[in-house]
Each structure stands twice: as C-alpha cells, then as structure tokens.
Amino acid sequence: MTPEEEELEALQIDVDELERRLAAEEEALMALRIELAAFERNYRRRVAPRKARVDDLRLRLSVVSGAPSAEFDELQARATDSAKVATGMEEGAQQMQRPTEELRAVYRRIARLIHPDLAATSYDRDRRTALMARVNSAYEIGDLESLRQLEIESLPEQEDDKSVGGRLVRGIRRRAAARARLAMIEKERMILVAGPLAALWERAELAAAAGRDLVREMCNELDRQAAQLEAQLTTKTG
C-alpha cells in the first residue's frame, strides 16, 4: 500500500466516524427542538392564560388603590407582556414567517440536487433523505445561513477522477463539511438551551423525575393568587 493509499484509508475512517457522529447530533438536536416545542405549547395552554389573568388583576387593583405612577406603569407593562405571551404574540418568539425570495430560491436549488427520488442506490437515498431533513428544518425556521452551507454540501462531487488523489480531495471536502455542520449544530443547541424556556423545561423535567408536575403546581399557585386578588378587588370596589 502506497503512502497516499494509507492516507486515504485513514481519511475514510475519520470521515465515517464524523458522519456517524453528525447523524447522532442531528437526531439529538431535532429531539431537543421537539421537546421544547411540546413544553412551550403546554405552558401556553395552561400557565400563560393564568399568569395574564393574575397580572391583569394586579393592574386593576392598582388602579382602584391609587398606586403611584411608577408602580402602575410597571404593572401595566407586565400585564401587556403577559397578554402577549398568552396569545402567542410575544416579541422575539420564533414564529413561522413568510419565507423570503432568496430563501425559497436556495431551497429550490438544493431540492433539485438532492431529492431522494434522484438516488441511484439505497445508500445514496439514505444520504439524500438525511440531508433533505436538514434542509427542511433550516427552511422552516428561515435559517438562510444554514441553507447556504447545506447548498455547498449538496453540490455533486466530481467523481470522474477515480485516482487516489481525487478520492483524497473528495474525502477532505466531506470531512470539512461534517465538521462545519457539527459546529453549527453546537451553536444552535447553545442558543436553544440558553433561553428561559429551556431553563423552565429543565426544571419541569427535574420535577417530573421526582414525581411532581411543575406546570400543574404553577397553575395551582396562579389560581390561588387570582382568587386572592379578586377578593381584594371586590373589597375595594364594594
């Protein structure tokens, strides 16, 4: 075996390991997104309306109690924010947006290159299917940067050159693409876990492990606060 062939063999082992790791990281990232989305829906449905109710009652109570202007302004801002969360319209929320022309154009170019129906072998179909799933995910959240990177990955390799040198070049490109995507996945994961929603989800998971329902506890506490505030408001208004 020549030194170039030995280098190619080592490179292929490295690429195979990176791509196996990439597949696992893609699956883990998708699972995290699904878990957070499910928790957010549950929170919006059960907790957010109750919190909005409590904040509205506090605001109304401050009006009849003649609260200072600064306190009223703070309570009004809080009530407004809570109402937005309850209706799913809070600023900064990740919502489906109308895709831009550039986003659609990049998506169409990639789809034409890698659609699974164009596969010549079962291995190629699996590879295309996995790549298309990443493309669809990036498109759904409007991530143009990720789509551009995926477009580079999806460009067909020139396999006319069957020499060891040509195969080395293709292997190096695959390794670079896998490393770039792994770095991107880590960046996406860090953004997800750094948010307040993820922190609350982690608390809920710890509570569930101890046999508790954190969301139910939050609902019960907010119901208690609402009843107390309603009683105070009734007393004030006679």
User: Which two structure tokens, joined as six digits, stand for 36?
Assistant: 């957070």
Give yes or no for a contact between 4 and 164, defined as CB atoms under 8 angstroms apart.
yes
Residue 90 clears pLDDT 70, i.e. is over it: no
pLDDT at 166 over 80: yes
Q: Report residue 194 as tokens.
A: 């750094």
pLDDT at 92 over 60: no
C-alpha span between 167 and 86 (Å, rounded):
56
Band of pLDDT at residue 96, cut at 50, 70 and 90: very low
The CA-based diameter of the chain, rounded to the nearest angstrom, is 95
Show me where the domains of the chain are located: 49-93+195-238
Tell me the CB-side half-sphere exposure of residue 117, using CA atoms within 13 A. Answer: 2
HSE on the CB side for 187, CA within 13 Å? 9
Residues 126-150 have pLDDT tens digits of 778 878 888 887 887 778 888 888 8
Give the pLDDT confidence score for residue 178 in this predicted structure.
82
pLDDT for the residue 223: 97
223 vs 225: CA distance, rounded Å: 5
> Are the CB atoms for 149 and 181 separated by under 8 Å?
yes
pLDDT at position 87: 76
Q: What is the DSSP annotation of 36-65?
A: HHHHHHHHHHHTHHHHHHHHHHHHHHHHHH
Residue 85 confidence (pLDDT): 79
pTM of the prediction? 0.65
pLDDT tens digits, 1-34 = 888 889 999 999 998 898 888 878 877 887 888 8
Q: Is the pLDDT of residue 93 over 70?
A: no
Residue 177 pLDDT:
79
Residues 67-77: tens digit of each pLDDT: 788 888 899 99
Q: In whole angstroms, what is the distance from residue 190 CA to residue 196 CA?
A: 12
The reported pLDDT for the residue numbered 77 is 92
pLDDT at residue 51 above 90? yes
Q: What percent of the chain has pLDDT over 70?
A: 91
pLDDT for position 89: 45
Average pLDDT, the chain: 84
- Per-residue model confidence as pLDDT tens digits over 182-209: 888 898 899 989 988 899 999 999 999 9
